[in-house]
Structure 1
């Protein structure tokens, strides 16, 4: 167009049918790439959702595929790590060469979609977060990180973590916000990003479970009357692996778990 002094028209430069056919081919076959260059295409990008039964649909949607060759006899990638406890199902995996390389998330586990960190930053500024430049070398202060960024230090990490968790349980902060206190490293880490595996846990305070029968009855009545999502009662937390590392299982005096 520059050499011939003609007006540039993008509709004439690109054939829409080429893009449409390419997307249709990739979505239909699962091979992502050019049809003519089949050797360089990625296989399995799109799959047909399994709808045989409700359980098979849930299993297919929660499948995790390890990108390793099936021919190798390496045992470590096929085993579950200790941090998979409560996050990955220890029983559901196919037989044969794919055993252990194809895992499934637990039915109650979920993946965080991410949220804005602005509410957390505003709260930290109002709740005693001190400037990083003035107190970086102080050994008695606790470092505060948000999504891996060192924002400042705090003098009372115990009350800070408890307040953040209470705000999360009340709904003032997102339920996917993870609050981790590392006592050994003197750090408080807050995460609001996407891609973290979470699982719900019941809250126990002073050896009493916060979930009562009235909560279940209230939930059933609300759903039936209003037929819309309701406010979540503050009886459970959604925690990732790092946050669960600092928690303990509530036990009775005889050493048995409270929830039987």
Structure 2
């Protein structure tokens, strides 16, 4: 019967090779071709070069756009005022561009600008850097006062004053001109009428200036070797910098993932929405309640927002929730046992004691605004603006923010009941790697702030009295050596800006490239480091975590205090880079956006999170995942998503 069966399936069996040696040869051939294809497409140091290229193409423009506009006020010294009114100035940056590395050749009779290659920087102990140019726009203006009765439209339909801040425009006639006033500059004149201060622009200038020189990574898009067929060395793969002739490279920094919520129970039950900026962090905590009528101690839920701490029930009503039942629907806890009921009742009781009639939306908003404005660092914006800016910045709309806040409370309560695990900070899935682009942007931002302060001080001297600003020579005010020397000093010493604390520096970010052999050089370019507060008390950070499998080679670690903290990426490990948001593709495969979903459907469907922000729901999770995988495998969605 076996012979009959093999005869009936003869054509299929003929295609199968049962020779073990030939199968091993085919497997070895396939492995070699797959490895060769992987290294040809990605290489061993693609994470260094891709991060720097992204910083050059997108990150540096985003950095200058985030700086916004800064004001220059006069010295207000009465002896230097002169005959005219006090002059003010505003400065903002526009388009930014990085040029290729060049240097002045002064050997001939006439100095000329020539290309700088890495070979020149090595032989002459120079820094392989490129000039950073940016458009700077400056406006010089004075304040003009007028009575309230004279600020309306005139009979001709024109308005007398110009300029102003966004959101402070008055109504104009058919001419379309609007009179604007600055916030906080209203007062009462001697006649009892209100006086408004408007801007009268005296002069305006936009000019391109040199910000400084930025170190260039070898083999990046700015490097001359990227355009030549032949480089300095055939086997030089780049990925490092040349600072005063020395080869420097970045060690990827392991940071806690900042695009998700964190649940911890030490020292107390706490769920936090942690971001890079402290003002945008939100924490929900189980606090101890005092003994009162009907309650024997217990716990209630508090929220920390913009350095103000208050019961979370008040914030729900400030965000537009209208009843306690709706709050419970937003949180989404179906089965309430006795412990949860006590926590919720204690929270409602504490909210009523701190704010009477907190179920009134206007009263809740007023109470939250009063607490926030009396905190340590109060915001200058009104309630709606700072809630939109600092409370879950990636989520738009009060309703969606309330839903995400309810999700945080649900995670906290489920963790307290033992139905959800606390997040492990040592798990590699909960970490992100800061590479060359993020690290240079962090250091560059600090030196730009320093140069801005110097510029404001030097401009204040020319704003006083009858002196004029040198608008035709803005380089006179901007000291480009602050940025150039600051970056060179950071690379040389290895002391880098702290990711959160502006006044502190951290070490172990920059290392020398060792050239004993090619493997040692590649090892230096693929290192990662975990920053801890004190290396002697690192705790579980030194021990290998099961999540390292396939991502890190934790065996190649140095001895001494850095043992277990400095690791190497595995040979085929790829660090993902920034990509465009696939929101449209998610909607096309079955996701429903959160702002279009009713409260009853929110808790009965599966949630969809994009970079830590709740963006929608999907009625059929299995179909959604299968469609998502098909789009990803067909490369419509980036494979790294």
Using structure 1 for the length normalisation, give the TM-score. 0.56
Larger Rg: 2
Checking the alignment, whether the CA contact within 8 Å between 2:589 and 2:627 is kept in structure 1 is no
* Pair 1:127–1:166, CA change in 2 (3 A): closer
Does structure 1 residue 8 correspond to structure 2 residue 469?
A: yes
- Aligned partners of 1:24, 1:148: CA distance in 2, in Å? 36
Residue aligning to 2:522: 58
Please give the per-residue CA displacement for 1:205-224, whole angstroms capped at 9, x wherever unaligned. xxxxxxxxxxxxxxxxxxxx
For residue 592 of structure 2, give the secondary structure of its aligned residue in structure 1.
coil
Q: 1:58 Cα deviation (Å)?
A: 2.3
C-alpha change, 1:6 and 1:48, in structure 2 (3 Å) is farther
Kept in 2: contact 1:114–1:176 (CA 8 A): no
Does residue 115 of the first structure (1) align with residue 588 of the second (2)? no
What do the CA deviations read for 1:29-58 (whole angstroms, capped 9, x no partner)?
32348xxxxx96543443322333222222
User: Contact 1:136–1:153 (CA<8 Å) still a contact in 2?
Assistant: no
Determine which structure has the larger strand proportion and give its number: 2
The change in CA–CA distance for 1:86 and 1:32 in structure 2 (over 3 A counts) is closer
Q: Alignment partner for residue 151 of structure 1, among 615, 621, 639?
A: 615
* Larger helix proportion of the pair: 2
Distance verdict in 2 for CA 1:65–1:6, change over 3 Å: same
2:551 counterpart (82, 87, 90)? 87
| Partners of 2:589 and 2:628 within 8 A in 1 | no
Q: Which residue of 2 aligns with 1:257?
A: none
User: CA contact under 8 A between 2:605 and 2:618: conserved in structure 1?
Assistant: yes
1:129 aligns with 2:591: yes
Q: Would the aligned equivalents of 2:586 and 2:628 in 1 still touch at CA under 8 Å?
A: no
CA distance in 2, matches of 1:64, 1:112: 15
Distance 1:150 1:28 in 2: 43
The 2-side partners of 1:40 and 1:104 are apart by 26
Give the match for residue 625 of structure 2: 161
Structure 1: distance between partners of 2:535 and 2:614: 44
Instruction: Render the CA deviation track for 1:174-209: whole Å, top value 9, x for unaligned.
Output: 1111xxxxxxxxxxxxxxxxxxxxxxxxxxxxxxxx
1:70·1:98 contact (CA, 8 Å) conserved in 2?
no
Partner of 1:219: none
CA gap of 1:131–1:12, structure 2 versus 1, over 3 A, is closer
The separation in 2 between residues aligned to 1:136 and 1:58, in whole angstroms, is 53
The 1:131/1:51 distance shift into structure 2, 3 A limit, reads same
- Closer/same/farther in 2, CA of residues 44 and 7 from structure 1, 3 Å limit: farther
Higher relative contact order (CA 8 A, sep 6+): 2
Structure 2 SS opposite 1:172: coil
> 1:131 deviation in Å?
5.0
Q: What is the rounded CA distance, in whole Å, between the counterparts of 2:523 and 2:635 in structure 1? A: 30
Aligned counterparts, 1:27-106, within 5 A: 27-32=491-496, 41-68=505-532, 72=536, 74-106=538-570
* CA shift for structure 1 position 67: 1.8
Distance 2:484 2:568 in 1: 33
Paired with 1:167 and 1:175, the residues of 2 have a C-alpha distance of 9
Matching residue of 1:183: none
For residues 146-193 of structure 1, what are the alpha-carbon distances to aligned partners after superposition, in whole Å with 9 as ceiling and x for unaligned? 22222222222112111211211121111111xxxxxxxxxxxxxxxx
2:508 & 2:467 partners in 1: Cα distance?
44
TM-score w.r.t. structure 2 length? Answer: 0.24
Q: CA deviation at 1:74?
A: 4.8
Question: Could you say if the C-alpha distance between residues 147 and 71 of structure 1 is closer, same or farther in structure 2, counting changes exceeding 3 Å?
Answer: closer
State the number of aligned residues: 170
Give the distance between the partners of 1:150 and 1:45, measured in 2 at CA: 33
* 3, 25, 33: which one aligns with 2:489: 25
1:174 maps to what in 2? 638
Shift, 1:66, TM fit: 2.0
State how far apart, in whole Å, the 2-side matches of 1:155 and 1:19 are: 52
